[in-house]
Amino acid sequence: MDTYRPPLRDVRFVLEHVTPLADLTGLEDFAHADPDLVAGLLEEAGRFAAEAIAPTNREGDAEGARLVEGGVRTPESFQRVYEQYVAAGWGAVQHPAEHGGGAFPLLVANVVKEFITSANMAFSLGPLLTTGAVYLLQHHGSEEQLQTYVPKLVSGEWAGTMNLTEPQAGSDVGAVTTRAVPQDDGTYRITGQKIYITFGEHDLTDNIVHLVLARLPDAPPGTKGISLFIVPKVLVEQDGSLGERNDVEAVSLEHKLGIHASPTCVMAFGERGEGAVGELVGEPHEGMRQMFTMMNDARLGVGLQGVAIAERAYQQALAYAQERRQGRAPGAEPGVQSPIVEHADVRRMLLTQKASIEAMRALCYANAHALDLAHHADDPVTREQQQKLADLLTPLSKAWSTDLGVELTSLALQVHGGMGYVEETGVAQHLRDARIAPIYEGTNGIQALDLVGRKLPYDGGAFVKGYLADLRDQAEQLPEALAGSIGGPLTEALDALEGCTDWLFEHREEPNDVFAGATPYLRAFATVVGGSLLAKGAAAAHRALDAGETDGFGADFLQAKVTIARFYARQLLPSVHGLVGAITAGQEDLYAVGPEQLAP
């Protein structure tokens, strides 16, 4: 059974008890986002995702995106559903009202993104990039650029992309060679080629607004010489109408492991003449800083992809485990085949998926909650501290959630046994689709380097140590009934994490010692944060049960929250201790074996 049911109760619980929406609705900017309005919005978003978008997932995968004369053709079902998406205004939820947006918190918008991504990850990628383009232009575009491009992007009538990667410049963006030559009329002529451009060409919108990194003729080398340009697919006239086609086109599509319905394009700029017409965004040589605005927004969005695809695969695995009968579970009547959900190892796999998904969701929502406060809190000190928290959580959200997205989707396939390995059941598609997310928006190794190289040194290390101290206080203040089963393992994991953090600080003069342990450190850090967030939810559930106030959730639901947090604390948190050796091993063994010795 490959259907999708939006996890509305799980989401509502997080928004009420873990990353409180109430913290945001008390702010002037979000006063309109009252709980009843948000609940209705999310219920409708879930319905749209489940009923309109989810059925397109498998057929879109089978049909794929195709390069045809004149452009790229997306699956027919995408064209139909995208029109409905635009008509309903789903892409406008988080954007300012002055540009036609709903002005809801990012926390709320990210719930909508999760639902849509669970329904069809390939479909969701186009809107994700358009949202990022809006965000970038709001921060760095001129007033004229805002008025020309942003309202159409907010409405979804036009789409946005980011164009960074070139064949010789993958993660090393400073190596880009695309050129931008200034013209007498104030525009620029862009020439060059970009690769791996998601939704770089498609038939869903009348125009595509490409945000392109390129070099001016006098640009210094490296990232300090990169500028950012708007290069529309179709030139926009002074009155806002569409004019001539610009000299930009998709010359090929990548043949990928998954997300077949999402066109991943090789884009050519200026191959037919003097160059594609572009507009400079902001000042020259500021392109990398500007693009990071879009990339950081996208990194949290990609983290949500890990949550969303794992949720979709988990739902399918749970349904299969309840239907599939094989073997006789202990205690079952002789001669009767039991549903496989009755077997202990299947329960272990399902609970591992469920607990991990809830921890990932809470982390990504906490990240969005911090960003909302960073941008909208009244107190400047609060804004500064919440921005640091958001900066710290972003690599955790992106890397941990997408790594787990792959692992948990693989577990969902394992629950299906042999049936999971054939395309007929549909779960294999989820695993294929999930695999790109750890690569997107800076590979997860880069996220780990960002964590240890840029985020740990905040305030000389005081910020991170203060955050870990806050997590310890929370663990020590859990209700007595949870102190041993949840608080104890969480405190022990925090001990290990703090010890590793101290080790990294002590060895910061040897960068490769720190970098060698960066990836396992990120894993340990995120695992602890996930456990802390689940513990917070368990404490709220326990208090509600103790008071006999289930608040519409139901006693069984709340009891499950306690059990899931306990399972995570007892069976998943201990993995942190196994990472300590890798975090603190240093570089010696990594560099003691040369490439020639690694060869067979």
DSSP 53: I
Residue type (1 letter), 572 = L
C-beta atoms surrounding 389 within 10 Å: 21
Q: Mean pLDDT lowest for which of 65-79, 168-182, 216-230, 383-397? A: 168-182
Which residues on adjacent β-strands are paired with residue 161?
210
Q: Do 578 and 497 touch, CB atoms closer than 8 A? A: no
361 pLDDT higher than 90: yes
Q: What are the angstrom distances between the C-alpha of 94 and each of 25, 295, 389, 399, 526? A: 14, 17, 20, 24, 26
Q: What is the pLDDT of residues 267-281, one digit of tens each?
A: 999 999 899 999 999
Instruction: Give the whole-angstrom CA distance, residue 474 versus residue 478.
Output: 7
Question: Looking at residue 1, what is its pLDDT?
Answer: 62
579 pLDDT higher than 90: yes
Q: Do 377 and 383 touch, CB atoms closer than 8 A? A: yes
Active-site annotation holder among 143, 358, 441, 549:
441
Active site residue 333: no
Q: Is the dihedral of CA 553, 559, 565, 567 positive or negative?
A: negative
pTM: 0.97
Question: Using 50, 70 and 90 to split pLDDT, how confident is the model at 291?
Answer: confident
Question: Using 50, 70 and 90 to split pLDDT, how confident is the model at 264?
Answer: very high
169 pLDDT higher than 80: no
Q: What is the pLDDT of residues 461-510, one digit of tens each?
A: 999 999 999 999 999 999 999 999 999 999 999 999 999 999 999 999 99
Residue 551, helix vs strand vs coil: coil
Alpha helices in 19-142, H assignment, sequence order = 22-25, 35-48, 56-63, 76-88, 106-119, 121-140
Q: What is the pLDDT of residues 78-117, one digit of tens each?
A: 999 999 999 999 999 999 999 999 999 999 999 999 999 9
